Structure 1
Amino acid sequence: MEMQHTAAAQATSSLNHIPVVETPKVAILLCTYNGDPFLKDQLDSFIRQTYRNWIIYASDDGSSDKTLQILQQYQSKLGADRLSILKGPRKGFGKNFLSLVNNPDIAADYFAFSDQDDIWHEDKLKRSIASLNPETIDIPSLYCSRTRLVDSNGRPIGYSPLFTKTPAFRNALVQSIAGANTMLINNAARKLMQLVSSHATIVAHDWLAYLLVSGCGGHVVYDVVPTLDYRQHDGNLIGANANLKNQISRFRKMLTGRLKVWTSKNLEALDSIKHHLSIDNEQRLRDFELARRSGLLTRFRLMKKTGVYRQTLKGNISLAVAIAFNQI
């Protein structure tokens, strides 16, 4: 790890001497809160990116550890034109990310969400941008990927679930397929996110982005190749849901009503952009909302009509159970 940091430090010191080619600009939207144990690894992985035209916008949500000091140290090395430090709204990680999405002073062609404790693979940005067609800049577009799971020391311990079904609004209504830490969106997708009411309660900004882009006829790319190391530790706000224990835990919580609460909050957020949905998805949303208020037989009929699905067999079984118990 020490050799890695030394190499990263050398890269940092020479970064300003590397000319930035005229390519699409990427705003890396980094949210921090008491992240000093792993933040340097995350920042170093930005510096090692083979794609160079980026600027980091770090929104700190009131850290009381050395997070701000670390950010300031890297800012002094990179320059304020490569790393901008902002104050977060202190209303949770979802609101913090949306504060960056809504910040009018942040201008770029693409926007990459980042956690504070992951390690990006060197080709993450290059791969993300190459996956989105630059000729369709007016179409909301979102890239996301699988992740490699690592422990608190950075040792690989597995992978996030592999999904093979086509990303779609029918899936997004009942499932979020990838973490925000893997996501890259274009300006058209950002504008959709900016339309969401500031009063809406955000379950997770990654799920919100997936709902908006897929619902409004946008382009969603799910890459089966991992693009980062997703660190698993006690400080994770949302885990990877990769092992059986976590899946059983989430299934139990679903039966206690957590999924239903999440769905209600997602629908509240969608209410802000209903008129931007495609015609088919607008009707699908109406049927979905009506199904949640209906009796058992009508609920199943309407849910079948919407075509909602999850990515795995286990997921679809749990979905059927949720529909049966009116917990969706």
Structure 2
Amino acid sequence: MSVRSRKVAVLLAAYNGMEWIEAQLTSILHQSLVDVTVYISVDPSSDGTESWCAHYAKMHPEIVVLPEHGKFGSASRNFFRLIRDVDFDTYDFLAFADQDDLWHIDKLSRAIEAICEKKVDAYSSNVTAFWSDGRTHLLDKAQPQVAWDYLFEAAGPGCTYVMTNELATSMKHAVCQNWIKIQDVSLHDWYCYAFARSNGFTWYIDPRPSMDYRQHARNQVGANKGWKPLLARYSMINDGWWFGQIKILSQLFGRAASPITHDCLRLGCPQLIRLSFKAWQCRRRKRDKILFFIICWVGAFSVSKLK
């Protein structure tokens, strides 16, 4: 099915992005076979990002800079502002963009083709992480989806997400309806995947990379490669952040009463042991399933010692 002239609204959250944003916007504006409009929301920056984006938009009618909003403090809040404030009724698809990556020229057209051919509502893909010293690494997020993975992880980097208007409109309504509570959600990409799967929308994760994912010191999350990021993620689980986010998402999507999230919300010794045996339903990648199992047992042991 041809994707020519499909209209795509691209939402880009910016903050202190002067070093890389021009190269990223160039890669977005040069997308093949699609009609793109980029909406930029800038978190107050100290490097001139606001004024540069305003000047760039004057030279490129495909760029729209949203009015100043004040400080967001996180990429997720900035993206939620974009979802709330951008009118995408006239667009066929919605996509997210970070300020510092490089898109393959067919990123959007290939995503739309996959959505149409597979008759799904959303698309994400693997990415090629790259560093300034020339290193590259494939980030593989395309393992088969499982029953409850959406409550425990995202579908890969949000900058690969492409969604139909139907899904995007439904999600926009939910974001507006739960605006206060949604400010507690730390990762917009996790929220979007969880919203889609919780509400019966279908999702395809493409094993073929669609973009180059820049790695640098200011990445909010970044590439999960090696032991250092793995330990950092373990720390986020161990200090309660991860299960806290699961609780928020479960409540937002009416999943708090399900058996698996019931165990996540209580986190006593029996609940953690039961949860450990559901690891294969909670994460996609085998390594993550095993880590999930171990963390549940370590947590159960810690809880039992406190009694």
TM-score for the superposition, normalised by structure 2: 0.85
Q: Take 1:169 and 1:89, find their aligned partners in 2: how far apart are those partners? A: 39
- The alpha-carbon deviation at position 249 of structure 1 amounts to 2.5
1:184 and 2:162 correspond: yes
Residues 89 and 182 of structure 1, relative CA distance in 2, 3 Å threshold: farther
- How far, CA to CA, are the matches of 1:22 and 1:50 in structure 2? 8
Equivalent-residue separation in structure 2 for 1:134 and 1:90 (angstroms):
41
The amino acid that maps onto 2:202 is H
TM-score by length of 1: 0.79
Aligned twin of 2:230: 247
What corresponds to 1:90 in structure 2? 71
Aligned-partner Cα distance in 1 for 2:228–2:118: 44
DSSP-derived class of the 2:159 partner: helix
Which residue does 1:163 correspond to in 2?
Answer: 142
Shift of 1:78: 1.6
1:77 to 56, 59, 80: 59
**2:151 equivalent to 1:173:** yes
The CA distance in 1 between the partners of 2:170 and 2:296, in whole Å, is: 29
Match of 1:232 among 212, 215, 219: 215
Q: What is the CA-CA distance between 1:103 and the residue it aligns to?
A: 1.9
2:261 counterpart letter in structure 1? E
Of the candidates 308, 313, 321, which is equivalent to residue 286 of structure 2?
Answer: 313
For residues 306 and 72 of structure 1, do their structure 2 counterparts lie closer, same or farther at Cα, with a shift above 3 Å needed?
Answer: same
How many corresponding residue pairs?
A: 289
- Superposed CA offset, 1:219-247 (max 9, x none): 10101111111110011111111222211
CA distance 1:171–1:111, shift in 2 (3 Å): same
1:144 equivalenced with 2:124 (yes/no) = yes
1:106 Cα offset (Å): 3.5
| RMSD after superposition | 2.6
Confirm whether residue 34 of structure 1 aligns to residue 50 of structure 2: no
CA distance in 1, matches of 2:117, 2:37: 19
Corresponding residue of 1:286? 258
| Cα separation, 2, equivalents of 1:285 and 1:168 | 19
Q: Which residue of 1 aligns with 2:305?
A: none
